[in-house]
Amino acid sequence: MKFRDDNHQGDFLSSSLMKIQIRSRYLSLILSVVKAILSSNKDINMLKKLVKNVLESQGYFIYNIENLPFGCDHKEDIARVSPRLNVNTIFDVGANVGVMSLSYRKRFPNAKVYSFEPVNKTFSQLKEATKNDLDIHCYNMALAAENGSGIINIGSKSGQNSLVIRQQGEITSQEVKLITIDDFLNQEQKIEQIDILKIDVEGFESDVLKGAEKTLDSGRILYIYIETTFREEDTHHTQFSQIQEFLRKYKFNLMGFYDILPYWAGGNAIPFCNALFKRWEKDSIAIKKS
């Protein structure tokens, strides 16, 4: 079971005050549900309806995982589209402080997550956040089109660090190690396939993909979850058309868009989002409509 919150987009809340307000709201919501349960002598179906009404009155909706609308959670969509897939290997490229790495491990407990974060300060936070999970392997490097070194610009927020964008007001930079996915896999020969390749590197996405051409050509990557933009004026993210054109030759199809929030310029456009691509397979299943 999952909750969908139509009033709050957690990924876009950063201040401590707003987080406290959200926790308070969840607590009030839980108390309302508990009171409804305690005051009810109705049967279980009526009780479920009562709880549902209380939640929906506050802007929350409950879905059974099997009926969760496609496009809400890419991890659940992957599990539904490929129910026979045993997710063993996940690459978290641009792991930041480890939120997605931990989330992947929770949903796919048998998987090993390889987390790549080049900025030293952020990498230390990543190591600290994942230190209790031995199946999350952290690497202080960036995946790129070529091996070598590069200069990463460090913004005021860790999620804005970029190898291609100079942040406004940026005052620091750092030299980082660069390695291609192809060469990384040559070194880590125990990795047969990347089941999920997640890329969020602030405009450097194409370079990461170019460094994986041999791996893509050999069919060793199944899913790619990647940040992108549709706005030509957006120089902070990689154009969707560019990503789609590159992946088409490796038989990848678009599966869906995620984390869409049209807030740019007063809600007049979608600034950026995440796209899920899947390599074409003969045994893919059809998703039943509820």
pLDDT tens digits, residue range 63-76?
A: 777 788 889 999 99
Res 202: pLDDT:
86
Q: What pLDDT is recorded for position 170? A: 54
pLDDT for the residue numbered 211: 98
Q: Return the higher-pLDDT residue of 56 and 207.
A: 207
Overall average pLDDT of the 188-215 stretch: 95
State how far the Cα of 170 lies from the Cα of 153, in Å rounded to an integer: 7
Mean of the pLDDT values across residues 233-248?
93
Question: How high is the pLDDT of residue 3?
Answer: 44
Residues of the chain with CATH 3.40.50.150: 67-279
pTM: 0.80
Q: What pLDDT does residue 117 have?
A: 96
Region 30-36: mean pLDDT is 65
C-alpha 154, offset from chain centre:
21
**Is residue 227 a contact partner of residue 276, using CB atoms and an 8 Å limit?**
no
Instruction: Give the residue-averaged pLDDT of 206-230.
Output: 97
The answer to whether the beta carbons of residues 162 and 155 sit under 8 Å apart is: yes
Answer whether residue 169 shows pLDDT above 80. Answer: no
% of the chain with per-residue pLDDT over 90: 55
Higher pLDDT, 105 or 269: 105
Q: Give me the mean pLDDT over the 107-118 stretch.
A: 97
CA angle 45, 49, 52 (to 5 degrees): 140
Where do the DSSP E strands lie in 71-205?
89-93, 112-116, 136-139, 142-143, 148-154, 172-179, 194-199
Give the pLDDT of residue 225.
Answer: 98
* pLDDT surpasses 50 at 6: no
| Averaged pLDDT for residues 49-57 | 77
Question: What is the per-residue pLDDT for 4?
Answer: 46
Sign of the CA dihedral 102, 107, 109, 115?
negative
pLDDT band at 178 (very low <50, low <70, confident <90, very high): very high
Q: What average pLDDT is seen over the chain?
A: 83
Fold classification of 67-279 (topology level): Rossmann fold (3.40.50)
Q: Please identify which residue in the block is written with the tokens 């199946």.
A: 135
- State how far the Cα of 261 lies from the Cα of 61, in Å rounded to an integer: 18
What is the rounded CA–CA span in Å between residue 91 and residue 72? 21
Helices and strands per DSSP (H, E), number in the chain: 9, 12
Per-residue model confidence (pLDDT) at position 196: 98
